[in-house]
Structure 1
Amino acid sequence: MEALAVRLSGLDPYVDGAMRIVAFYDTLMRRRVDLPALARASAGLAECVAGIRVHCTGQVIRVSPDGRQASAPSAPASTTVPITLDAEEIGTVWLERPDLPNALDDVLLDRLAIAAAAVAERYGPALTTMADPALVELAISSDSDEAARARALRLLGFAADLPVRVAAVRSQLPLDQVGGLVCPARLVKAAALADVGVILATAIDSARFPAGVRAGIGAVDSPDRSWRQARTALRFTTPHQTVVSYDDLGALALLAEIPQDASRDNADVAAIAALARTAGPEDLETLDAYCATGSLRQAADLLHLHHSSVARRLEQITRTLGIELTDPTGLTRARLALTAWRLLND
Structure 2
Amino acid sequence: MEALAARLSQLDSHVEGAIRVVMFYDTLMRRRVDLPALARASAGLAECPAGIRLHGAGRPIHFSPDGTAASAPAPTASSTAPITLDEEEIGAVWLERTGPAGPLDEVLLDRLAIAAAAVVERYGPARTTMADPALVELAISGDSDAAARARALRLLGFATGVPLRVVAVRSSVPLDRISAALCPDRPVKAAPLGDVGVVLASAVAVDRLPAGVRAGIGTADSPERSWGEARTALRFATERRPVVRYDGLGALALLAQVPQDAARGNADVAAIGLVAGAPEDLETLEAYCATGSLRRAADRLHLHHSSVARRLDLIGKALGIELTTPAGLIRATLALTAWRLLDS
Instruction: Return the TM-score normalized by structure 1.
Output: 0.64
Out of 307, 311, 314, the residue aligned to residue 312 of structure 2 is: 314
The letter for the 1-side match of 2:292 is G
Alpha-carbon offset, residue 220 of structure 1: 3.5
Counterpart contact for 1:156–1:189, Cα < 8 Å: yes
Aligned partner of 1:266 in structure 2 is: 266
1:306 is aligned with what amino acid? H
For residues 189-209 of structure 1, give each alpha carbon's deviation from its aligned partner in whole angstroms, at most 9, with x where no partner exists. Answer: 111110000000122123332
Letter in 1 for 2:313: E
Give 1:165 deviation, angstroms: 1.2
Given candidates 295, 298, 305, the residue that maps to 2:296 is 298
* Counterparts in 2 of 1:135 and 1:33: CA distance versus 1, 3 Å: closer
Q: SS of the residue aligned with 1:191?
A: strand
Do the aligned partners of 1:163 and 1:220 also contact (CA within 8 Å) in 2?
Answer: no
- Distance apart, 1:86 and its partner CA: 4.3
Shift of 1:340: 0.6
Maintained 8 Å contact 1:142/1:225? yes
The Cα shift of 1:317 comes to 0.7
Structure 2 vs 1, CA of residues 328 and 335 (structure 1 numbering), >3 Å: closer, same or farther?
same
8 Å CA contact 2:220, 2:229 repeated in 1: no
Moved more, 310-319 or 219-228: 310-319
Deviations 1:111-145 (A, max 9, x none): 78979xx99xx863231111111100111111111
Pick the aligned partner of 1:331 from 326, 329, 332: 329
Q: CA deviation at 1:36?
A: 12
Give 2:230's aligned residue: 230
Distance 1:180 1:114, change over 3 A: farther
In structure 1, what is the equivalent of residue 155 of structure 2?
155
The structural deviation recorded for 1:268 is 1.1
1:19 paired residue number: none
Question: In structure 2, what residue type is equivalent to 1:323?
Answer: I
Q: Secondary structure at the match of 2:172?
A: coil
Q: Distance in 1 between matches of 2:300 and 2:334?
A: 20
- Structure 1 distance, partners of 2:301, 2:72, is 51
TM-score (norm: length of structure 2): 0.64
Q: Contact 2:190–2:198 (CA<8 Å) still a contact in 1?
A: yes
Counterparts of 2:239 and 2:156 in 1: how far apart (Å)? Answer: 33
Q: Please give the root-mean-square deviation of Cα atoms over the aligned residues, in Å.
A: 2.7
Aligned to 1:34: 37
CA-to-aligned-CA distance 1:64-84 (integer Å, 9 cap, x gap): xxxxxxxxxxxxxxxxxxxxx
- The 3 A distance-change label for structure 1 pair 332 and 204 is same
The one-letter code of the counterpart of 1:304 is H
Unmatched segments (≥5 aa) in structure 2? 1-34, 42-56, 60-68, 74-91, 94-115
Is there any run of 5+ residues in structure 1 with no aligned partner, and where? 1-31, 39-84, 88-110
